[in-house]
Amino acid sequence: MPSFSLSALYMNIHLKLVYVFLYVPIIVLMVLSFNKAGLPTVWSGFSLEWYGKLFENDAILNAAGNTLIVAIISTVLASILGTLLALGVQKAKTNSALDALLFAPMIIPDIVLAIALLSFFTLLEFTLGLHSIILSHVVFNIAFVCAVVRTRLKNFDYSVVEASEDLGASSFTTFRRITLPIIFPGVLAGSLLAFTLSIDEFIIAFFTAGAGASSTTLPMQIYSMIRFGVTPEINAMATIVMMVSFTLVFLSQRINKGITG
Amino acid sequence: MSNIVISLSNLNKSFGKTQAIDNVSLDFKENEFFAMLGPSGCGKTTLLRTIAGFETPDDGAVVLQGENITALRANRRPINLMFQSYALFPHMTVAKNIAYGLEMEDLSKPEIDERVADILKLTQLQKLAQRRPDQLSGGQRQRVALARALVKKPKVLLLDEPLGALDKKLRGQMQLELKRMQVEAGITFVIVTHDQEEALVMADRIALMKDGKVAQLGSPHELYERPNSRFVADFIGTMNFFDGYISGKKITLHNGLQLTGCNQDLAEGVDKGSMAVRPERISLHSQQPDNVDNCLQGTIVDMAYHGQDMNVHLEMDKKSARILVKISPGEAEAQGLKLGEKVWCAWSAQNARLLAS
C-alpha cells in the first residue's frame, strides 16, 4: 500500500472522532429525553412521558409562545430591512470598511452586543419586555439576512432592472415582479436562518428582557429550570428545539444552493 | 423617409474628468438603420443610454418628434433598448418575457396574447414560447430580446452591441436578419457597435465616434470612399497611408516622389499629411505602366493567401511603411508574382484621398 493512503486512513479516523466529539453529547441528550426514570443520567426504559409533561407545563408553553412571537416578528422585520440593506449596499458599491461594519453584528460577541443594547435601551429610558427583545434580535438578524441576500446578488445581472424600466415598469413594479422573484431564494434562506438564530438565542434575550414571565423566552426558561437540576423534561425540550433549528438550517442551505448551483 | 424622429442637440455628459459625450448633435430619421460606430470608450454606449433615458445629459436636449424628452424617465419613453447582455428575465418563460412590456401598458389579455403570438411568429420563436432563458442558445436569446423590445412597437429601437455575444457565422446571418426585421417593422433602429463590418453591412447611415465626438457622419459608402480624417480612414476597412508634405492636390513623400490625390477639401495651411489608398484599388505591374496618375516601385516582402483574395505586401524602401495590395489569387498567379521580386504599383488619383495628419 502506498504511504499516502495510510495518512488518508488517519485523516479518516480523525474526521470520525471529530464527529463523535461533536455529536455524541447531543445524541446522549436525545436518548435520555426518552428515559422513563426521573433521573437524567440513568437509563430505565423507553417513555414519551416527558414530552407529555412538557406540554402540560404552563411556564414552558408560555415561554415557547414568547419565543415564537419574538422569532416571527424579528424575522419578518429583519428580512425586509436586511434585504433592502443588501440591495442598497450592492447598488452603492461601498468600500470595504463599510462592508466590514455590516458584518460586525454577526461577529462581535453576543455578550458585548447584549450589554450594549441594554445600556442603549436604559439610556433612552426605553421600557424592557418582549418588544425590546424583538428589536435586539432584529439588530443581529439584519446582518445575517443581508449577508445571505448579498451572496445571491453577486450573480444578479442589474441590467434586468433597467430592462424592466425600459419596458415601461415603475420602480415598484420592477421590484415586485423582477428583482424580488429573482433574489427570493436568498431572502427565504436568510429569513430561515434568522428565525433559527432567534429561536435559540439566550444571552441577548436575557439581558434585554423585562421582569417576569411576560418576556421570558424558551432558552431563558430552560436556563431557570436547569438551576434546579437537569430533568428529562429539559432533555425533551432541548431535543425539540434542536430538531426545529436543524430542520430550518438544512432547508435554508438547500434553498440557497438550489438556485446558485 | 426624411422625417426626423429623434434629434439630439448639443449633448454633453461627463463622468468625473472623462467627457463621455462632447457636444454631440445628431438627427435620426424615420425608418432608417443608423449605426453608432467606434472603439471602446468613444461614448457610443453612453449616447445610446442617454437616448433610452438611463443617463441624464449634463446639458443639451433629446427631442422626440418635436417633444423634448430629456427629463423623461426611461419607463415613459416610447423607445426601447435591447441590452448587450439581453437582460432576459430568468424566472419567466419566453412568452412571459415578451408579454411583460405589454402588461405595463395595461392592454387587455386577448390583445397581449395576440401581439405576443404575432411577434413569436415574426421572430420564429413559436416552438420556444414556454422555455426559460437558460434553456435557450445564444442566438435564440438574442431573438427573444429583440422580440421583447419590438412587441412594444417603439418609435425607435436601440440596440447595444446586439451581435457581440454570437459566434462569427451566426453573426453574419443575424446581420441580414436584423436588417430584414427593421424593414418589416418599419421603425428606426439605432445600433451601437465596435465592429465596422457590421455597421457597413447593416446601416443606412453611420456616425463614427471618437473621444465623445462624431468624427464623421455619412453613408457606409461615404465613410469608406471619402473618409475625412486619418482616424476614419484607419478605422473603416484597411488603408495604405503615404506620409509627406501636401500642396494642392499633390503630396511629396520623403524620397521626393510626388503623388496626386483627388480632394481639395483640406483646410487652408495644412501641409503635413498623408495620402490614403485602399489596398484593392492598387494594381500591380511588372513594367512601369504608362498614363497612370500614381506609380511607384516596390519589392514583394510577403504574400498571404486569404481564399477570395491574395494580400501582397510591398516595401518601397526601408524608411516607408509597407504597402498592402489586394488582388485576386488568379491574377497573382497569372502575373507570376514571387517573393523578393520588384514590381510597380499604380493607382488613379480619384482613388487617393489626401488627409491632414
**Alpha carbons B264 and B232: distance in angstroms, whole number:** 18
Q: What is the pLDDT of residues B63-75, one digit of tens each?
A: 999 899 999 999 9
B-proximal residues of A, 140-199, CB under 8 Å: 157, 159-160, 162-170, 173, 177-178, 181-182
Contact residues on chain B for A169, CB-CB shorter than 8 A: 75, 100, 104
Pairing of strands B33-37, B59-64: unpaired
Higher pLDDT, A191 or B357: A191
- Euclidean distance between CA atoms B192 and B162, whole angstroms: 8
Chain position carrying cell 434585504: A83
Alpha-carbon Rg for chain B, nearest whole angstrom, is 25
Judge: B101–A168 Cβ closer than 8 Å, yes or no: yes
pLDDT tens, per residue, chain A with 261 residues: 455 677 888 888 999 999 999 999 888 888 888 888 776 667 788 888 888 888 888 888 899 999 999 999 999 999 999 999 998 888 877 677 777 888 888 888 999 999 999 999 999 988 898 999 999 999 999 999 999 999 888 888 889 999 999 999 999 999 999 999 999 989 998 999 999 899 989 999 999 998 888 889 999 988 888 887 777 888 888 888 888 888 888 888 887 665 543
ipTM above 0.90, yes or no: no
Give the other-Cβ count within 10 Å of B212's Cβ: 23
A121, burial (CB in 10 Å: exposed 0-12, middle 13-18, buried 19+): middle
Burial class from Cβ neighbours inside 10 Å (0-12, 13-18, 19+) for residue A23 reads exposed
pLDDT digits (tens, 9 = 90+) for B266-321: 766 678 889 999 999 999 998 888 888 999 999 999 999 888 889 999 998 877 88
pLDDT of residue A78: 96
Of A162, A168, A181, the CB nearest to B104: A168
Using the beta-carbon criterion (under 8 Å), do A169 and B88 form an inter-chain contact? Answer: no
- In 3D space, the residue among A239, A193, A201 whose CA is nearest the CA of residue A219 turns out to be A201
Return the closest-CA partner of residue B138 out of B117, B168, B160.
B168
Which of B69, B72, B75, B103 is most worth mutating to test chain A (most A CB atoms within 10 A of its CB)? B75
Residue B265 has pLDDT above 80, yes or no: no
Rg over alpha carbons for chain A, rounded to the nearest Å, is 23
What residue segments make up the domains of chain A, in order of their start?
A: 50-260
SS3 B41: coil
CATH for the A50-260 domain, from 3.40.50.300, 1.10.533.10, 1.10.3720.10, 3.20.20.30? 1.10.3720.10
Q: How far apart are CA B203 and CA B218, in angstroms?
A: 10
Chain A residues with CB-CB distance to B74 below 8 A: 162, 165-166
Nearest chain A residue to B81, by CA: A166
- Is A258 in CB contact (< 8 Å) with chain B? no
Residue B87: closest CA among A134, A222, A179: A179
A168 contacts in B (CB within 8 Å)?
A: 75-76, 101, 104-105, 152
pLDDT for B104: 94
What is the rounded CA–CA span in Å between residue A234 and residue A216?
16
Nearest CB to A166; choose among B52, B84, B88: B52
Q: Which domains does chain B have, with CATH numbers?
A: 4-225 (3.40.50.300), 238-356 (2.40.50.100)
Residue A219 CB neighbours (<10 A)? 20
Instruction: Give helix then strand counts, H and E, for chain B.
Output: 9, 20
Closest by Cα among B175, B116, B168 to B147: B116
| Distance, CA of B205 to CA of B37 (rounded, Å) | 10
Looking at A46-55, B178-187, B259-268, which range is the least confident one? B259-268
Beta strands B156-160; B18-29: pairing state: unpaired
**B258-260 and B250-253 as β-strands: parallel, antiparallel, unpaired?**
antiparallel
Nearest to A186 by CA among A222, A157, A151: A151
Q: How far is B125 from chain A (nearest CA, A)?
A: 20
Give how far Cα B26 sits from Cα of A51, B11, B157, B275, Å: 79, 9, 16, 29
Question: What is the chain B residue with the closest CA to A170?
Answer: B75
The C-alpha atoms of residue B86 and residue B77 are separated, in whole angstroms, by: 19
